[in-house]
Structure 1
Amino acid sequence: MTHTDVQDTTERTRKRFARRQWARRWLAWKPVVGVVLLVVLAGVLVWLVFFSSYLAVQGVDVRGVSQLQASQVRSAAAVPEGQALARVDLDRIRTRVEALAPVRSADVSREWPDQVRIDVTERVPVAVVSIAGKLKGMDDEGVVFRDYAKAPPGLPRVETGTDTGSDALREAALVVGALPTDLAATVDHVQVDTVDQITLVLRDERTVRWGSSDESDLKAEVLAKLIAARKAQYYDVSVPSQPTTR
């Protein structure tokens, strides 16, 4: 073997040794490099989602409104446009929207990449009530939430005393909400004095003593049968198991 051959063999051996050394070092460092890359990737994702302008709020999508304008909901929601969508406080937005009187409930969600969506469920009037000389709509929870120039057809009117409280209005709303459509259509107004002194006045001036809202479904059923069976000026279904007429 010549001197040149010896040098070539030595060089090849040295290179094989170097490759084995590098492979061993890579095996030792590979998990560390992987962890570093994952940390860097996670940091980039956190920055992208929570702090960059790429996923920031650019608009508010309002759905489900008919009484309200979408602009009114956006104004009440006060969504911070330009803030990272992931950091927007959805509960606070929902609370602000539900503070609007016509809103029964609101659902607020993120629409990636850059929108906040607000789904509104509005209150539905079951009666009208005169308060301070203004005619207002009232839902089945007794919440007064909108104004009317005149009462819409088919909605009974609720009349209250000067000291009638919100609890009595809620009771009246429960009563009206329990009335079947055909029976509600015969009601001119509901007189509310206290929570357990509620009276229906029919369009033909007959009166019905209702009492409280307890057992309203049963009271409505009993009243319908009484009206069909007996013509009277006065009906008392405050105790539905013992109705009276005169």
Structure 2
Amino acid sequence: MRRPAPIPASEEQARQPVPSEPVRQPVPLRGEASESRDHDETAPLDPIDPTGSAEAAQVSGADVWRAARARRRALRAEIRRFTSRSRRRRTIWLTSISLVVLVVVGTFAAAYSPLFAVEDISVEGAKTLDPQKVEQVLSGEIGKPLALVDDSAVKSALMSFPLIETYALEVHPPHGLTVRIVERTPIGVLRTEAGYTLVDAAGVALATTDARPEGQPLLAITGGAGTPAFESAGLVVRSLPAEVRAALTDVRAATPDSVTLVLKDGKTILWGSAEDSSAKSVILSKLMAKNPKSRTFDVSSPTVPVVG
């Protein structure tokens, strides 16, 4: 069937321009759009797919945040690496100080506790004294912590023994206390109204008896104890050889330079002063060995001894 011919337009309509139809561009699919973006990153996004710009902005923010966090971590790691030595040194110091404090506190707590109380007192160095008597006067210290032993109380108790010249306390944890004493060395006896008084080189009275003690020489010192002559005589007696000291019966001195010794067999020793007593002792021993029958030995001048 044939299509009829169009109706001819009027003259006015023929003069009017015919509007041209807009040319539609083909709409690419998603795959094609992403492919075109891959080929041309500068091309604008498809206005029909508005989510593309949001996803790009979202990915960019996450990357920035992750990069900032990684940078902070790296910075902290560098700080820890550069300060590790000082932190280690500070840790060692704090640990050491803590240990010292703990040890000191623990030591003091233990020392002042009943765990370290005195239970046994021993006396050493006693030759003339009875150690049991010394231990008895110190029994008041039993039960006290070792750190609280009263030295003044011990000294007061030991003053009742004039024969004790010096003493020292030794602590033996957990319960031991040792008293080391040094006895005075008697040099002879002085005749007094009360009898015979045993004295040491300092003139301290050690004991007084009615009868003259055996083995102790009689001291005939002008002025008695506390004089220069007595001091000189005391030094001489303490420096004598053992064999001479055992045979000594009398010590006489009117002045510090006139000390004279008398032995049991009647031999007389002119000693003089206390100076060079060590040399005089050696010379006297040699003279007595070479001259057993001599009765007088003068060593007042050790360089020129005289035998009579």
Normalising to structure 1: TM-score of the pair? Answer: 0.63
Pairing of 1:122-137 with structure 2 (within 5 A): 122-137=183-198
Of 53, 73, 87 in structure 1, the residue corresponding to residue 148 of structure 2 is 87
Q: Describe the shift of the 1:43–1:74 C-alpha distance in structure 2 as closer, same or farther (beyond 3 A).
A: same
Counterpart of 1:14? none
CA contact (8 A) 2:187 2:234 kept: yes
Q: Describe the shift of the 1:223–1:40 C-alpha distance in structure 2 as closer, same or farther (beyond 3 A).
A: closer
Q: Describe the shift of the 1:84–1:242 C-alpha distance in structure 2 as closer, same or farther (beyond 3 A).
A: same
Counterpart of 1:23? none
Q: For residue 194 of structure 1, give the secondary structure of its aligned residue in structure 2.
A: coil
Counterpart of 1:237? 299
| Alpha-carbon shift at residue 110 of structure 1 (Å) | 1.5
| Alpha-carbon shift at residue 56 of structure 1 (Å) | 2.7
Q: Is 1:117 matched with 2:166?
A: no
Q: Is 1:158 matched with 2:219?
A: yes
Letter in 2 for 1:65: A
Name stretches of at least 5 consecutive residues in structure 2 with no aligned partner: 1-90
Pairing of 1:7-86 with structure 2 (within 5 A): 46-50=108-112, 52-70=113-131, 72-74=133-135, 77=138, 80-86=141-147
Q: For residue 128 of structure 1, give the secondary structure of its aligned residue in structure 2.
A: strand
Of 291, 294, 298 in structure 2, the residue corresponding to residue 228 of structure 1 is 291
CA contact (8 A) 1:108 1:116 kept: yes
- The C-alpha deviation readout for 1:149-192, integer Å capped at 9, x for no partner, is 43323x43322224452543332222123322333455431102
Q: Describe the shift of the 1:243–1:68 C-alpha distance in structure 2 as closer, same or farther (beyond 3 A).
A: closer
CA distance in structure 2 between the partners assigned to 1:45 and 1:229 by the alignment: 66
RCO (CA 8 Å, sep 6+): is it higher in 1 or 2? 1
Pairing of 1:128-147 with structure 2 (within 5 A): 128-139=189-200, 143-147=204-208
| Alpha-carbon shift at residue 214 of structure 1 (Å) | 0.9
Letter in 2 for 1:117: T
Q: For residue 234 of structure 2, give the secondary structure of its aligned residue in structure 1.
A: helix
Name stretches of at least 5 consecutive residues in structure 1 with no aligned partner: 1-30
Counterpart of 1:195? 256
Letter in 2 for 1:150: R
CA contact (8 A) 2:203 2:225 kept: no
Aligned-residue identity in percent:
25
Letter in 1 for 2:213: A
CA distance in structure 2 between the partners assigned to 1:188 and 1:108 by the alignment: 37
Normalising to structure 2: TM-score of the pair? Answer: 0.52
| Alpha-carbon shift at residue 215 of structure 1 (Å) | 1.3
- What is the RMSD of the two structures over their aligned residues, measured on CA atoms? 3.9
CA contact (8 A) 2:258 2:271 kept: yes
